[in-house]
Amino acid sequence: MHVCGSHEWTITHFGIRTLLPSNVEVRAGPGCPVCVTPAADIDSVTDLSLHGKTILTYGDMSKAKGSELSLFEAKARGGDVQVVYSVHDAVEIAQANPQREFVFFAVGFETTAPPTAYEILKGPPRNLTFLVSYRYVPPAVGAVATSPDLQVDGFINAGHAATITGMKAYEPYFMKTPKPMVFAGFEPIDILISITMLLKQIAAHDPKMENEYTRAVTWEGNIRAQEAMDKVFERVDGYWRGVATIPESGFRIRKEFTSSDARLKYGLKETPGDEQFIPQARCGDVILGKIDPPECPLYMKTCTPASPKGPTMVSMEGTCKIWADHKVLAAMRCRT
Amino acid sequence: MCLAYPGKVIAIEGDFAKVDFGEGTIRDGVNVSLVQPQNGDYVLVHAGYAIQIVNQSAALKTLRYWREILAALPADRASYEREVRGGLT
């Protein structure tokens, strides 16, 4: 199993599964941050956008629906929503418009959290606050490793997230449940080599934490980025939409930076932690990697990229969207 | 959320760098405060920020390794199917 939408993209785009022997299956685990962002948080920002605040968001995130609307739809109804490429753009826009109130929708994994921490440390403009909904991947890998439903034999670990945390962040989970782990890059040949390394560990009954992505991943990771995150955020339980609440996998802005916290400024609701998708949709099972998209009754029937019914079909890192864009219509399970 | 692209730092001014991603794509204003590279370093850029410096010697070693693997593959599709895939079901 891998836990990264970008890995799923490489694997599907280059037809990696068609090259594998029939007794090897690569599953897409919970690696799409837009997909796992709670509907309650999306509802908070759509609501704010319709009540005079300007929401600054990544493009992908703007298309995911909360319990009713997406930010994109809120904008169509007169909500104030602006797409930005980076948190730095958000700071510049807020600085240039001191008379308006802005909220940056801070969504992503630990690859995306450090720049936001850095901007908060620098002292952002007073009219900009942050709705932090980041998720932290190592505990999710730990949760998947112990899941009896999934029975994963090895992990292709997210290479770019690991450039930030270092391999060391996965050690506690590896020690608790030793399963083969290879930290992989994003070229197709990186994936093939990583799968080979995993198969060697499995065949030798010798689980290890190995690094295929040596040009970018180290044991220690990016210390500067880690320090920025530690200073600004504390880790709390995180609800992964439609999946589960995973301990220590969410981020909250620390008390010292209260003035940057949109949750406090606007008294936003916390998520109840048991969100549903539309009837019959199996987004949660796809996100976790329990099923392949074609095993959802809506896939490519009522739910298509042009008419998405859930976040996995909206986000460019969602398994359903990736498979649909590449016209993959059959599940890719082990045949032996 | 692992979309990051490697590019070469060609100019640095304070916290920001000009990064060349190849094939004519050059981006100004990449924030490098999280990595502190030097001119000529390759960095991985994610959403406007450099998140890591690419280790050049590891990259060159990897590229050499890949070239060996690719050179060892059969030259045509039919031979590939026979010699490589033939052993797999």
| β partners of residue A314 | none
**pLDDT number for residue A210:** 98
Domain residues of chain B, as ranges?
A: 5-82
Q: pLDDT of A139-154, one tens digit each?
A: 999 999 999 888 899 9
Q: Which residues of A touch B (CB under 8 A)?
A: 4-7, 21-22, 31-33, 58, 85-89, 108-109, 111-112, 114-115, 118, 158-161, 163-164, 186, 189, 193, 214-216, 218, 222, 224-225, 228, 317, 336
Question: Residue A237: is its pLDDT beyond 60?
Answer: yes
Domain A34-135+222-265 in CATH: superfamily? HypD, alpha/beta domain 2 (3.40.50.11740)
Query: Domain B5-82: which CATH class?
Result: mainly beta
Say yes or no: B79 contacts chain A, CB-CB below 8 A.
Answer: no
Question: Residue B89: is its pLDDT beyond 80?
Answer: no
CB nearest B1 (choices: A5, A88, A224): A5
A chain contacts of residue B34, beta-carbon cutoff 8 Å: 114-115, 118, 222, 224-225, 228
Nearest residue to A290 via CA among A321, A331, A330: A331
**pLDDT number for residue A335:** 59
Give A276 or A62, the one with higher predicted confidence.
A62
Average pLDDT, chain B: 89
Question: Residue A47: is its pLDDT beyond 80?
Answer: yes
Domain residues of chain A, as ranges?
A: 34-135+222-265, 279-325
Q: pLDDT of B14-29, one tens digit each?
A: 999 999 998 889 999 9
**pLDDT number for residue B58:** 94
Confidence of residue B50 (pLDDT cuts 50, 70, 90): very high
pTM of the full structure = 0.93
The CA distances from residue B18 to B12, B30, B43, in Å, are 6, 6, 11
Question: Residue A336: is its pLDDT beyond 70?
Answer: no
A131, A262 in Cβ contact below 8 A?
Answer: yes
**pLDDT number for residue B74:** 84
Tell if the CB–CB gap between B51 and A160 is shorter than 8 Å. Answer: yes
The ipTM (two decimal places) reads 0.89
Q: pLDDT of A67-89, one tens digit each?
A: 999 999 999 999 999 999 999 99
